[in-house]
């Protein structure tokens, strides 16, 4: 039996799994054992592969997953590139907070990109959006207003073996950004697919392409998200600045509602916590306790 190798599943193709190892892309089949265990490899999975005596490569083991998110699902996503549009659809902090909370819950880091700033004629309106975004910078998020700058910074941001994916509202500009970022990486992707496809026509639902030392998922990512599985009493901890402040609240389990000596409420009154963040926190609480998604997102 040949040696085992490890790699990352970069594409699913009609029952085959294409695995990127350190040196090449290997087309594999999954062993029947996965079906028995109801385990299904996903794009992004770190896996072990083995070659049998006939030279056929098999995917024999899925290594433990960090997460599995989106539709189509991508495993081991460590970072999301969140596309928020300035207009068409209009900039919305409610939506921004919704995505940030969701990814914080999923332990996925987020980099924010503002699209369609070029479509704003009114500079006062753009200034206002920039001012809002500077709050998000202060609480620790990286924010880009220029795709060229984002592209350049990705060299440092996207670390070895990391998997990134895109997210944002429908029409925000995810595919447009993806195509822009892909332009550099396209050549190697094309070479891989023609070598493996051997002329056969295949439809790929999701694929990872190499970007710097890591991967970016070649899918528009997700546009609507469901917060209802989040535990209500954990919600505040996914608002990064609330979590930071909560160590100074009188009560350990403070939910920052009507409790006495609440640091979050104090900072809110002093305008150090942005009012819309707190309002959105309350709205998400209501949504989770009622167990439903708001109408506008369905
Ligand atoms: N002017 C301008 N137009 C943009 C920009 N980004 C995207 N668009 C346009 O906005 C429209 C929607 O962009 P897409 O990239 O398809 O948006 P998406 O987020 O992939 O949308 P879904 O596939 O519905 O989730 C397209 O007509 C794009 O050409 C931008 O930065 N500036
Ligand atoms: Zn509190």
Residue 224 in domain: no
What CATH number is given to the structural domain containing 238? 1.10.40.50
242 and 266 both lie in a single domain:
yes
Q: Is the backbone of residue 295 left (phi > 0), alpha (psi -120 to 50) or beta? A: alpha
* Res 59: pLDDT: 93
Mean pLDDT across the chain: 88
pLDDT of residue 284: 96
The pLDDT assigned to 202 comes to: 43
Which ligand has the shortest distance to the CA of 268? Answer: 2
pLDDT band at 183 (very low <50, low <70, confident <90, very high): confident
Query: Which atom of ligand 1 is least distant from the CA of 220?
Result: 20
In this structure, the answer to whether residues 198 and 99 fall within a common structural domain is: yes
Indicate which residue's Cα is closest to atom 6 of ligand 1: 173
Question: For the purposes of burial, counting CB atoms within 10 Å of the CB of 215, is it exposed (0-12), middle (13-18) or buried (19 or more)?
Answer: buried
For residues 164 and 253, membership in a common domain is answered with no
Q: What is the CA radius of gyration of the chain?
A: 22
Q: Which of 160, 193, 217 is the last residue of a domain?
A: 217
Inform me whether the pLDDT recorded for 196 exceeds 60: no
pTM of the entire structure? Answer: 0.88
Answer whether residue 166 is part of any domain. yes
Distance 98 CA to ligand 1 centre (A): 20
Q: What is the pLDDT of residue 198?
A: 45
Which one is predicted more confidently, 69 or 19? 19
Classify residue 225: in a domain, yes or no: no
How far does the centroid of ligand 2 lie from the alpha carbon of residue 236, in Å? Answer: 9
User: Do 48 and 156 lie in a common domain?
Assistant: no
Q: Say which CATH number the domain at 117 has.
A: 3.40.50.300
Higher pLDDT, 107 or 291: 107
Is 175 a pocket residue for ligand 1 (Cβ < 6 Å)? yes
Specify whether 169 is located in the same domain as 121. yes
Residue 30: per-residue pLDDT = 86
What CA–CA distance (Å, rounded) separates 265 from 268? 5
**Alpha carbon distance 203, 219 (integer Å):** 13
pLDDT above 50 for 203: no
Q: Is 168 within a domain?
A: yes
Per-residue pLDDT, averaged over 44-63, amounts to 91
Q: What is the pLDDT of residue 297?
A: 61
The complex's ipTM works out to 0.98
The CA distance from 78 to 288, in Å, is 25
Domain that holds residue 268: 232-297
The pLDDT score that the predictor gives to residue 200 is 44
Are 207 and 113 in a shared domain?
A: yes
* Better-scored residue on pLDDT, 95 or 205: 95
CB atoms under 10 Å from CB of 154, counted, come to 19
Instruction: State whether 116 and 178 are in the same domain.
Output: yes
d(CA 215, CA 44): 9
Average pLDDT over residues 125-138: 97
pLDDT of residue 3: 73
The 10s digit of each residue's pLDDT in 66-109 is 988 877 789 999 999 999 999 999 999 999 999 999 999 989 99
223 CB near ligand 1 (under 6 Å)? yes
Q: Are residues 92 and 157 in the same domain?
A: yes
Please tell me whether residues 209 and 114 are part of one structural domain. yes
CA–CA dist 165, 207 (Å, integer): 11
State mean pLDDT over 217-245. Answer: 89
Ligand 2 centroid, distance to 285 Cα (angstroms) = 15
Note whether 129 and 208 are same-domain residues.
Answer: yes
Number of domains into which the chain is organized: 3
Residues 193 and 161 in one domain: yes
212 and 87 in one domain? Answer: yes
How far apart CA 58 and CA 48 sit, in angstroms, is 9
């Amino acid at each position: 039996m040949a040696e085992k190798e490890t790699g990352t599943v970069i594409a699913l193709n009609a029952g085959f799994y294409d695995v990127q190892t350190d040196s090449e892309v290997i087309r594999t089949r999954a062993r029947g054992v996965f079906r028995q265990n109801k385990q299904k490899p996903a794009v992004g999975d770190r896996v072990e592969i083995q070659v049998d005596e006939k030279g056929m490569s098999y995917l024999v083991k899925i290594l433990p997953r960090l997460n599995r998110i989106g539709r189509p699902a991508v495993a081991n996503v460590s970072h999301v590139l969140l596309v928020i549009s300035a207009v068409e659809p209009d900039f919305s902090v409610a939506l921004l907070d919704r995505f940030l909370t969701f990814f914080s819950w999923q332990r996925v880091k987020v980099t924010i990109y503002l699209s369609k700033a070029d479509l704003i004629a009114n500079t006062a309106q753009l200034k206002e959006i920039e001012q809002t975004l500077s709050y998000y910078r202060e609480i620790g998020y990286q924010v880009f207003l220029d795709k060229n700058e984002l592209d350049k910074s990705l060299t440092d941001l996207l670390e070895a073996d990391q998997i990134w994916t895109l997210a944002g509202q429908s029409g925000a500009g995810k595919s447009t950004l993806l195509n822009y970022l892909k332009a550099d990486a396209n050549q190697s992707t094309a070479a891989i697919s023609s070598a493996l496809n051997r002329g056969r026509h295949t439809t790929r639902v999701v694929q990872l392409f190499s970007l710097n030392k890591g991967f970016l998922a070649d899918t528009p990512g997700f546009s609507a998200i469901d917060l209802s599985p989040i535990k209500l009493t954990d919600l505040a901890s996914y608002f990064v600045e609330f979590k930071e402040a909560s160590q100074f609240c009188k009560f350990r389990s403070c939910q920052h509602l009507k409790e006495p000596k609440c640091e979050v409420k104090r900072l809110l009154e002093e305008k150090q916590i942005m009012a819309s963040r707190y309002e959105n926190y309350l709205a998400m609480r209501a949504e989770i306790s009622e167990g439903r998604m708001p109408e506008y997102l369905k």
